[in-house]
Amino acid sequence: MTKTKIQKQYEKYVATMQKKADIESAIAVLSWDKEVNLPDNSARFRSQQVATLSGMSHELFTKASFGKLLATLKSEKKGLDKRQKRNIALTHKEYERSKKLSKAFVIRKSKTISAAYHAWLKARAANDFQLYKKELGAIVDIAKEEAELIGYKAHPYDALLDIYEPDARTSELSVLFKDVRAQLVAFVKQLKKRPQIKNDFLFKKYGHKKQWEYGLKALENMGYDFKTGRQDISAHPFTISFSPEDVRVTTRIDERDFTNMLWSCIHEGGHALYEQGLPTDQYGLPLGQAISLGIHESQSRLWENNVARSAAYWKANYKEVQNLFPRNLSAIPLKQFYKGINKIAPNLIRTEADELHYHFHVLIRFEIEKGLMEGSIEVDDLEEIWNAKYKEYMDVEVPDAKQGILQDIHWSHGSIGYFPTYSLGSFYAAQFFQQAVKELPNLLSEIEKGNNQSLLTWLRENVHQHGQYYTAKELCIKITGEPLNFKYFMKYAKEKFGEVYA
């Protein structure tokens, strides 16, 4: 087989993958519209439209002829460069997994998710888990079915974890969360003994319009490109990408909590910068996609926590916020504001949690998902179990379903196996940011001046541009010289909060 023929076959592969990406981008547009603009009574046909397109995408990708093309390209030792070979290897792995799922199953799953999402919305509005329980049960059943179809060696949860964090295993995460809990609990107990920080000034009246305008400016300051993106309002903040040239974010605004909107803008902005930084010449291919959700989350957490919750960031930005909200902040000095936004205290809502308690929220969800998949937890008992775990781990009483079991959108999207990546992201972020500071000696002083370009450039070069060329582990080693190591997060936490709490 000549090189020219191989390249023609590779081009045929690219054309198929980009056609698949086009269909999935259309699904993404419909999904974005569903959460931002969809009228209340328009769900039925939207669900049908998404299901139809999902079936088309799956059918295109799992055709026997495409599998044969992948096998041919995978077997070739010459004629393809390293990047092309990596694309083929990753696509072949995904093909082998996808062909285990029939078109009928994919359509049924899509319809189940649509029904669950709208049931979740109604249940949240009514503050009643009972309105969602049946549909959530269907989500769990289809997740179990998918795990069996895909296959696993040790635990059914492994099959779902691999979708979001390739090569992650339930046994390894169980050990990680055990270690995290042991180390964080001791440290948080030390902080609780210190004089507690007052931050009531963050929960006064902050006008909707001014918050919105400042959120847009915060995104622009990070380097988010509004010529290839936009921000809207949704019930649950999210980032969605149709291509590196169309990446959108949403936020939510609480006029009695200034940080609610701010952190969601910056968090989703970190995700969006990753998507905008992926190579456009790899559109539709693995090298044009993020490595894993853990690495994706590292980008949002790095911007949200390591940058935007730092003293350096607010030296550059606090005066403007004071000017925007003089009645609330003019009498609050920078040091008090900095301590206020870094207050450590248990809470009910994961997305509003401080940096340390956040991982207890993730731990609870990990344990519940693991239990649901192995059958040790039933959906009928879920609200009671949720509330008991919050009392045990966080020492808080859950007052209602909206602040408890109904707070997250993920299960209504069918995303079981997603939550552990949130903690992994924080740990990668701490390790990456320490390396960035080491390689860029002036980084913190530049952030103090409001210049984030050096950091963005560093992330573009070290993370974004590679797509899936490296595994998460390989990328971490390439950037920092070692695999993910929890000690960097604890070092960061002890240095920062040791100072905040004196």
Q: Residues 76-119: pLDDT tens digits?
A: 878 899 999 999 999 999 999 888 988 899 889 989 999 999 99
Spatial separation of the C-alpha atoms in residues 122 and 40, rounded to whole Å: 10
| pLDDT tier, 236 (very low <50, low <70, confident <90, very high otherwise) | confident
| pLDDT number for residue 343 | 96
Catalytic residue among 135, 146, 268, 355: 268
pLDDT tens, 334-371?
999 999 999 999 999 998 889 999 999 999 999 999 99
| pLDDT tier, 229 (very low <50, low <70, confident <90, very high otherwise) | very high
pLDDT tens, 146-204?
999 999 999 999 999 999 999 899 998 998 898 888 898 889 888 989 999 999 999 99
Return the closest-CA partner of residue 138 out of 170, 110, 102, 97.
110
| pLDDT number for residue 189 | 84
User: Residue 3: is its pLDDT beyond 80?
Assistant: no
Instruction: Considering only CA atoms, give the Rg of the chain.
Output: 23
Say which range, 39-48, 356-365, 381-390, 447-456, has the weakest mean pLDDT.
39-48
Q: Are strands 246-251 and 239-243 parallel, antiparallel or unpaired?
A: antiparallel
| pLDDT number for residue 275 | 98
| pLDDT number for residue 184 | 86
| pLDDT number for residue 71 | 95
Q: What is the pTM of this model?
A: 0.89
What average pLDDT does this structure show over 307-317? Answer: 97
pLDDT tens, 424-443?
999 999 999 999 999 999 99
Domains defined along the chain, listed by start: 3-153 (no CATH), 170-500 (1.10.1370.30)
pLDDT tens, 256-289?
999 999 999 999 999 999 999 999 999 999 999 9
User: Residue 1: is its pLDDT beyond 80?
Assistant: no
User: Is residue 449 exposed (0-12), middle (13-18) or buried (19+ Cβ within 10 Å)?
Assistant: exposed
User: Residue 227: is its pLDDT beyond 90?
Assistant: yes
Structure-model confidence comparison of residues 265 and 1, the more confident one: 265
| pLDDT tier, 131 (very low <50, low <70, confident <90, very high otherwise) | very high
Contact 152, 145 (CB under 8 A): no
Q: Extract the tokens encoding 376.
A: 């040790």
Percent residues over pLDDT 90 in the chain: 86
Q: What rounded mean pLDDT belongs to the chain?
A: 94
| pLDDT number for residue 2 | 57
| pLDDT number for residue 238 | 93
Q: Extract the tokens encoding 104.
A: 């009928």
User: Residue 476: is its pLDDT beyond 90?
Assistant: yes
Q: Is 268 a catalytic residue?
A: yes
